[in-house]
Amino acid sequence: MPKLRVLLAGGTGLVGRALLRRLLADPQVATVHALARRVVPDWPAMNNKLRPLQVDFAALPPLPVCDEAYLALGTTLRQAGSREAFRAIDFDAVLATALAAREAGARRLMVVSSVGADARSRTFYTRVKGEAEDALRALGFEHLVIARPSLLLGAREALGQASRPAEALAQRCLSPFAQWMPARLRPIAADTVAAALIAAARRDGQGVEVLEAADLHAA
């Protein structure tokens, strides 16, 4: 069986970094083309499968030929600074990368979305996430996997990311009670989300597959 050529966007974040580690360790993967807005100093030393690509997501070049793509792009309203800037990443960049990946030959697309994503939501964050999901569904990938995790667990500062005070506070407050929380609301490790997405890709299914937070915990 030919080894896979993989595209990853968002490899500097919590789930993206976990995806990168797992994909580089996957014997079925030949190369990982990792797209990022900035240079990541330690990437070249990680693995000879890794092909870093510094890109402008608002003006993507033609992407390398690939078999499957993973999108872990995302920010927060606080970090983005405005609704327009947030949408430029969580909708525009996501859709543009998916389109470019399809043009590059990707048959499978795995995407990190959010719990509560719904294009009809009254909450701006989850509404944009839902609109992005709907736009991705319309692209016609053979297999589209959408993960909707709840609060992500992980040390963002260790990855060189800006801290998210509200998220850090929620982690400290909720983690001791996680085992008693409903699975759809329970905080989840970023690596668990990454593992579930890759496992779904390896099943080589058809159509749209949505992994709700409870599914991710089960996986």
User: What CATH number is attached to the domain comprising 213?
Assistant: 3.40.50.720
Q: Per the structure, how many domains does the chain have?
A: 1
Higher pLDDT, residue 218 or 66: 66
Report residue 77 as tokens.
């309203």
- Picking from 29-33, 65-69, 207-211, 214-218, which range would have the lowest pLDDT averaged per residue? 214-218
Q: How many angstroms separate the CA atoms of 78 and 48, rounded?
A: 36
pLDDT interval class at 180 (50, 70, 90): very low
Report how far apart, in Å, the C-alpha atoms of 17 and of each of 64, 71, 84, 151, 182 are. Answer: 20, 11, 26, 16, 27
Highest mean pLDDT: which of 40-44, 117-121, 186-190?
Answer: 117-121
> Which residues, in sequence order, are CB contacts of 193 under 8 Å at separation 6+?
15, 18, 112, 147, 149, 152, 216
Mean pLDDT of 138-161: 81
Please report the DSSP string for 113-158 in residue order. --TT--TT-SSHHHHHHHHHHHHHHTT--SEEEEEE-SSEES-SGG
Mean pLDDT of 121-134: 97
Express each pLDDT in 93-103 by its tens digit. Answer: 999 999 999 99
What's the pLDDT at 60? Answer: 96
Residue 50, phi-psi category: left (phi > 0), alpha (psi -120 to 50), beta (remainder): beta
Q: Which structural domain range is residue 102 located in?
A: 4-218
Please say whether the beta carbons of 50 and 32 come within 8 A.
yes
**In the predicted model, is pLDDT for residue 183 greater than 60?**
no
Q: How many angstroms separate the CA atoms of 119 and 130, rounded?
A: 4
- CA 86 from chain centre, in angstroms, equals 15
**Residue 37, SS3 per DSSP:** coil
Please report the DSSP string for 4-29 in residue order. EEEEEE-TTSHHHHHHHHHHHH-TTE
Say how many CA atoms lie within 13 Å of 86 toward its Cβ: 14
Mean pLDDT of 81-85: 95
pLDDT interval class at 124 (50, 70, 90): very high
pLDDT interval class at 109 (50, 70, 90): very high
**Which 8-state DSSP code applies to residue 84?**
H
**In the predicted model, is pLDDT for residue 114 greater than 90?**
yes
**Residue 185, SS3 per DSSP:** coil
- Picking from 19-33, 58-72, 129-143, 173-187, which range would have the lowest pLDDT averaged per residue? 173-187
- Picking from 6-20, 28-42, 190-204, which range would have the lowest pLDDT averaged per residue? 28-42
